[in-house]
């Protein structure tokens, strides 16, 4: 027998729901269950799910951090060995820098490298002052030599083979009376001694304090 809208309204009356057909009872029960789930999700479970999601993200971050720390701990001996190797390489490079007392000998070596190739020095002028860096000082020397193309090339090669570090910068070649003229800036480097390093640190600290005081 077909159920009319009036029958459905009558059966949905809480006082008459007991006499309703089983299909109506199941429908009402399903609706009530769905409504309970919706209300529970909206007022309570939604916040809990968001909190669970947030905690899961934190867990993933902690797991990633843990794995990174674990890798670092596993590779720590390798990192220490790398540090030792770097310190050795740095020490070897530092030995290629002359001390203050050796600078005169280095300048003589540069001059002799040119004379040994038959070049004529028209200019050999070390800068009046050095430029201090982190742990070394740089001294530029303005040079001008004349000679054949082959001898000038050999001179540049000899400079690169010196036991101490010397670089040729701002190189230019031009025609000269006896062949070619090489104009360049030869830069020599020396390491700073302990007193100079201490003075440099003191000056840096004073500069930092002055900048801090201006804020």
Structural domains present in the chain? 100-198 (3.30.70.60)
pLDDT at 2: 46
Q: Which of 10-14, 18-22, 189-193 has the highest mean pLDDT?
A: 189-193
C-beta separation of 124 from 155 below 8 A: no
Distance CA 88, CA 93 (A): 9
Packing angle between helix 103-116 and helix 149-160, nearest 10 degrees?
Answer: 150
Task: Identify the residue with better confidence: 119 or 27.
Answer: 119
Give the pLDDT confidence of 94-115 residue by residue, as tens digits. Answer: 566 666 777 788 888 898 999 9
Mean pLDDT of the chain: 75
pTM for this one?
Answer: 0.50
Q: Which helix (H) or strand (E) holds 198?
A: helix 194-214
Stretch 187-213: mean pLDDT: 75
Distance CA 170, CA 143 (A): 11
Q: How confident is the model at residue 27 (pLDDT cuts 50, 70, 90)?
A: low
Residue 180 above 70 pLDDT? Answer: yes
C-beta separation of 168 from 186 below 8 A: yes
């Amino acid at each position: 027998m077909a159920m009319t809208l009036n029958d459905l309204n009558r059966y949905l009356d809480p006082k008459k729901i007991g006499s309703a057909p089983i299909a109506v009872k199941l429908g009402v029960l399903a609706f009530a269950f769905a409504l309970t789930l919706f209300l529970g999700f909206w007022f309570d479970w939604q916040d809990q799910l968001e909190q669970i999601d947030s905690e899961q993200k934190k867990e993933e971050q902690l797991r990633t951090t843990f794995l990174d720390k674990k890798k670092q701990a596993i590779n720590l001996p390798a990192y220490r060995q790398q540090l030792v190797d770097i310190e050795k390489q740095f020490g070897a490079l530092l030995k290629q820098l002359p001390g203050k007392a050796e600078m005169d000998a280095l300048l003589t070596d540069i001059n002799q490298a040119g004379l040994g190739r038959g070049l004529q020095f028209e200019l050999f002028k070390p800068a009046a002052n050095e430029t201090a860096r982190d742990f070394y000082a740089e001294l530029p020397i303005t040079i001008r030599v004349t000679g054949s193309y082959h001898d000038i090339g050999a001179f540049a090669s000899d400079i690169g083979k010196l036991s101490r570090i010397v670089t040729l910068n701002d190189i230019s070649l031009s025609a000269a009376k006896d062949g070619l003229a090489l104009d360049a800036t030869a830069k020599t480097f020396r390491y700073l001694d302990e007193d100079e390093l201490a003075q440099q640190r003191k000056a840096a600290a004073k500069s930092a304090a002055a900048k801090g005081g201006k804020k």
